[in-house]
Amino acid sequence: MRALGALALLLPPAVRAGVFSLSQLAWSLSNQNGSLVVAGALPSQTHLDLKRAGIITEPLLGVNDFTQRWITLDNWTYTADVSPFLEAAAAARDPAQKTLLVFYGIDTIANITLAGHPVAWVNNQFQQYVFDVSDALAKPLGRNTNLTIALESAYWYGLNVTSRPDAETFPINEDFEYPTIRNYIRKIQSDFGWDWGPAFVPSGVHKPAYFITLSANASPRADESDAAELAAAGSSAPETDNLNTAAPAALSPSPLLISESSIDIYKQGYADRSGVPPVQTAPWIVNISLGVHSAVDAPKPSLTVSIPELQLTSHPLALEPIPALAPPGAGSALSAPTWVHATWSVPDALPERWFPSNLGAPKLYNVSLSLSLGGAHAPLALQTRVGFRTIQLVQTRYPDAEVAARGITPGDQWHFEVNGRAFYALGTNIIPFDPFYARTTDAQVRWVLESAVQSGQNMLRVWGGGIYQPSTTSTALTPNFPPHATDTYSFYDACDELGILAWSEFIFSDDLYALNDWLIDSVRTEARQNVRRVNRHASNAQWAGGNEIEGIVTQVNESAVNGQHYLNEYVTLFQDILHDVAYEETNSVAYTDCSTTHGVLSLDPLVIRFNNGTPGEIYGNSERYDYDASAAFDYSTFPVSRFINEFGFHSMPSFYSWEEVLEAPTDFDIDGLVVMSRDHHPPAGSLAWPNPNAPQGQEQMKAAVALWLPTPGTADANQTFAQWAWSTQVFQAMTMASQINFYRRGAGQGAHNLGALVWQLNDIWQGVSWSAIEYSGRWKVLNYVLASIFQPVVANPFWTAASEALELVVTSDRWAPVQGRAQWTWYDWAGNALGTQRKDFAVPALNNSVLLAQTGLAGILPAGKNASEVWLLFNATAQVDGKTVVNENYFTPASLADAALVDPKIKLTHTGPGLTFRLSAQGGVAPWTWLDHPASTVGVFVDSARGAPLNAFYLVPGIDRTVTFQLNAGLSTNKNPSPADFVVRSLWNNTHV
């Protein structure tokens, strides 16, 4: 007995827990012909392991997205000897134990064998898999103790599938780089290229994987000390590219695995699919479903639910019987869970509501689940965190009485209501955080989400061409049992905590999808697993069927000879199948067929409107992309819509981001080969390299800068390149601000617009994109401008050049009327004030107040001045939610390209404490004054007095600005930046050294 005890102490903690992380095995990675064999890792992807082995350099460096294509064109195999696990399992001396092989994600096409036995062939990146491998391990073939994951090239797989005689062909293919295949593969669609990112087409086991042993003789209980140890468990992967992969420690063996769970919280009597709003005073229904793989029969299990903070505990809730695992069927080791369900009613008044952070507090509650199997088995304890809120996407027709009373343009509604109240959705769109999912970290994602909240956003759209974003890395918050990490980074859990809504989408984007039995079955499983998982997150706002496909199929229906066939396939998948799966798994959030939609004719049953509508009425939502810079500030080109779910303009990353990837001094050239190769807009549509269409995208940016800003050109080549990069960001911010202000004003006009989501928030690499935040986490000009124009009360000048009309408008998105005081001052570019006016204002809820309306430029301008000599500073101050909100905006009656700028002679003084700086204009006005933090640092500049983000402002002589740089030490490799390395620039530097 003493010897056995000593052996147990020597076993890895994960083994003693009955959860053995596959990251603890010694993996090798080999290509198809065996000419390359290197050390591998899990979770990981082939490029990452080849980089660790020194075979390739960083994939994002230089032109590696082209030179490393050979990796995509090969098949790769991960192999590990599982003897360490077998020895640990044997030490338990439990003949009744079962072994499950659990993968939380495989990218993508893989043949899995264990101990010489075939386990499965898989081909869906978005599914999790549980296999019963007890028999394979008990009877290895020829002393084979290897686990092998043979990955087929997604490119070759796609070519094979599309070359089949029964493969469907399409009248259009929305190709970016790898042509005609991505819509046949259940994989991140942007892996094959997009107009803002590379096409590495990675492969690997990109999420955690485990052996989990179950025992009919086990009787565990997870107590608080277990949870604390589990939450602190670190990575045992060979490098830090793999985060939170270790199995949990110090937990007794388990009689069962809970591989999936769903906690759906909604109001009693509510059915989202009906379109009828929830009764806000009704009790809360907590609907819990658990997917169980059990080693024992439990004929009368029960579940007890408690919320300690509310001192609320349910009585034992009866569950369906749980049978013991049956032997896997012939030819398949797949272990399907047994689903058990329970509902619990919570009085409405007990929990505080969860709100987006700009509308209230994102209140969350810890929930304890105690699963009793009966008999001699002690209850199993699970922990998670939930919020109580209602979120409804309102799509019904505006009543005639409301149309008449409020001046709303007739048609359908399209907006969100949280806890029964309509609100203005301010936000951006999320794309994948890295081309290689396995190296995405909590810190990286957390910073992007915190940056969104700091810039005033309350909603993020999870774009349907990327990945189903994960829930959490925390074993203490994942309602799985035994506790173990299921992902490499947290997303929804962070959104819950930070108070930002996440609009979710199924992964279909910008293409038509062929329907066959395999696809339908695979997608049903994929959709169910992800809807269940996301249900518990208060931040989830809706499920959309995919990205932009409704518009594509509508055009095909009208233009193709057999267009009706493709429309019918679209209806089958997006109106019928995904709709039904979503509502079978959730009752708390809406389903819509597409990100951009013309709305519905009926909600229950769902009937998509397509082009069926009355001229002059408004339906659904909209998007806008116009790369003609002359229309950037022309309101007549902006859509009049209830909700704008994406709109954007591209820009370059900063000089600092280019330094991360450009390898030669001559590469720092806006027209250089490497820079041009990293502009994928418009996309190549093929594997042609460099992108033959890049000059068009580059010219759009350059033309915009030349039209609206001084054209960069100095004697210093690096400065000129830096000013080009920065100036494209300035224009991007200017045109986005113009649109956002127009859409927000629409809340009080006939459009009754209640949403503006900018394309896009984050970057996937250092290249030309539509992002507000660069790949490293550095804020672009756009994110600082969003922090200003997404404030709850904003002062906006509206200039209509065609009619020479100027309006000064204050807009509020508050639920209550807002009062305040506005001021506007004309200045010349030397900084002389030419006249000031002040006016008190009162803005109704979700509405506007027009403070000034003038026409005729000659009468608007200060006497004796022409348009190029002056500009207007417009600001508003109001008390909002007990805080003082100060917002400012600028109006230049002529393009800044024609403005008579004066050398601002900016003085940057480090005043301390820490990284605090005072900026003073010693000469003229410095439009778009910009402070850059040094290379290898991540952080944000804030107003030292108010704490709000502050950068990209007009610096006026006599009106100094004091800002503090708040360093994110976790993401910064330079953790002690010198104040001397901070750089200030303005438009003056476009043409002056």
Banded model confidence at residue 332, pLDDT cuts 50, 70, 90: confident
Residue 412 — very low, low, confident or very high, per pLDDT cuts 50/70/90? Answer: very high
Mean pLDDT of 645-657: 98
Query: Over 70: is that where the pLDDT of 943 sits?
Result: yes
Which helix (H) or strand (E) covers residue 46, if one does?
A: helix 46-52
Backbone angles phi and psi of 918, in degrees to 5: -110, 130
- What was the pLDDT predicted at 253? 64
What pLDDT sits at residue 914? 93
Query: What average pLDDT does the segment 5-15 reach?
Result: 35
Q: State the DSSP string of 390-430.
A: -EEEE-SBPPHHHHHHHTPPSBB--EEEETTEE--EEEEEE
Can you tell me the mean pLDDT for 589-593? 98
Least confident range of 24-33, 62-71, 137-146: 137-146
- E strand map for 487-643: 501-505, 540-544, 590-592, 600-603, 606-608, 622-624
Question: Once rounded to an integer, what is the mean pLDDT over residues 618-642?
Answer: 98
Q: What average pLDDT score do residues 228-241 get?
A: 38
Question: Do the beta carbons of residue 181 and residue 163 sit within 8 Å?
Answer: no
pLDDT score of 912: 84
Alpha-carbon span 417 to 390, nearest angstrom: 8
Question: Which pLDDT score is estimated for 220?
Answer: 54
* Residue 248 confidence (pLDDT): 34
Cα–Cα distances (Å) from 783 to 694, 793, 940, in that order, read 25, 17, 10
pLDDT band at 175 (very low <50, low <70, confident <90, very high): confident
**Parallel, antiparallel or unpaired: strands 870-880 and 883-891:** antiparallel
Q: What is the DSSP string of 888-914?
A: EEEE-SS-TTS-------EEEEE--SS
152 is catalytic: no
Summarize pLDDT for 851-909 with one digit per residue, the tens: 999 999 999 999 999 999 999 999 999 999 889 999 999 999 999 999 999 999 999 99
pLDDT recorded at residue 305:
98
Q: How confident is the prediction for the chain on average, in pLDDT?
A: 93
The yes-or-no verdict on residue 701 having pLDDT over 50 is yes
Distances (CA, A) of 710 to 182, 706, 727, 896: 42, 6, 9, 7
Q: Which of 403-407, 474-478, 736-740, 859-863 has the lowest mean pLDDT?
A: 474-478
Instruction: Name every residue whose Cβ is closer than 8 Å to that of residue 547 and which is 6 or more positions away in sequence.
Output: 463, 464, 465, 505, 508, 509, 510, 594, 595, 596
Is residue 887 within 8 A of residue 953, CB to CB? The reply is no
Q: What is the mean pLDDT of residues 783-808?
A: 98
- pTM for the whole structure: 0.95
- What pLDDT, on the 0 to 100 scale, is given for residue 600? 98
Q: In the predicted model, what is the mean pLDDT of residues 833-853? A: 97
The rounded distance, in Å, linking the Cα atoms of 92 and 76 is 35
Beta-ladder partners of 612? none
> Which entry of 548, 623, 774, 869 is annotated as an active-site residue?
548
> What was the pLDDT predicted at 16?
40
Q: Any idea what the Cα angle at residue 830 is, between residues 827 and 833, rounded to 5°? A: 30
pLDDT on residue 236: 34
State yes or no: pLDDT of 4 exceeds 90.
Answer: no
Residues 6+ apart with CB under 8 A from 480: 257, 258, 259, 260, 261, 382, 486
